[in-house]
Amino acid sequence: MRVYLDMCCYNRPYDDQSQLKVAMEAESKLHIQNLIKDQMLELIGSYTLDYEVSRNPFEMRKQSITHFIQTHMKGYVGSERADTIKPIAEEIMKNGIKEKDAYHIASAIYAKCEYFISTDKRLLKYKTDKIRLVTPIEFVTETEGED
């Protein structure tokens, strides 16, 4: 199964864990990372994600996230696909989704991911039949027990 994690999902374990929801999302995201490490899931990356990771002001976090993605990524949507991704992203933006988020979703759709995993409540309101947008908790709940 192919999955795409957006930047807020990668950052969730670094957020303040004093709220139960944040702690549960962080734990779920770490579980997803373990599934990726164990090759139970195929991680997809993109040039949009690379750009966002590069803008992380915390050097240790940036290095850790970059290392994980580069080590475990099974597919990549590069900038050479920008002309193909752009019309998909533009269609998504018509639904009020911000440009960078639309390009993340468009990359995941292009790569034929089944799931787009995020902790961004506003982004998760977007619905399409091309990909399932879920929180890390929802992903674990929906896929638990599947082989």
Centre a 10 Å sphere on the Cβ of residue 45 and count the other Cβ atoms it contains: 22
What is the percent of the chain where pLDDT is above 70? Answer: 98
What mean pLDDT is predicted for residues 45-68?
97
Mean pLDDT, rounded, for 33-61: 97
The pLDDT tens digits for 65-93 are: 999 999 999 999 999 999 999 999 999 99
Residue 117 CA to residue 19 CA, distance in Å, equals 20
Structural domains of the chain in order of their starting residue, each with its CATH number:
2-143 (3.40.50.1010)
The C-alpha atoms of residue 44 and residue 146 are separated, in whole angstroms, by: 20
Q: Are strands 73-77 and 42-46 parallel, antiparallel or unpaired?
A: parallel
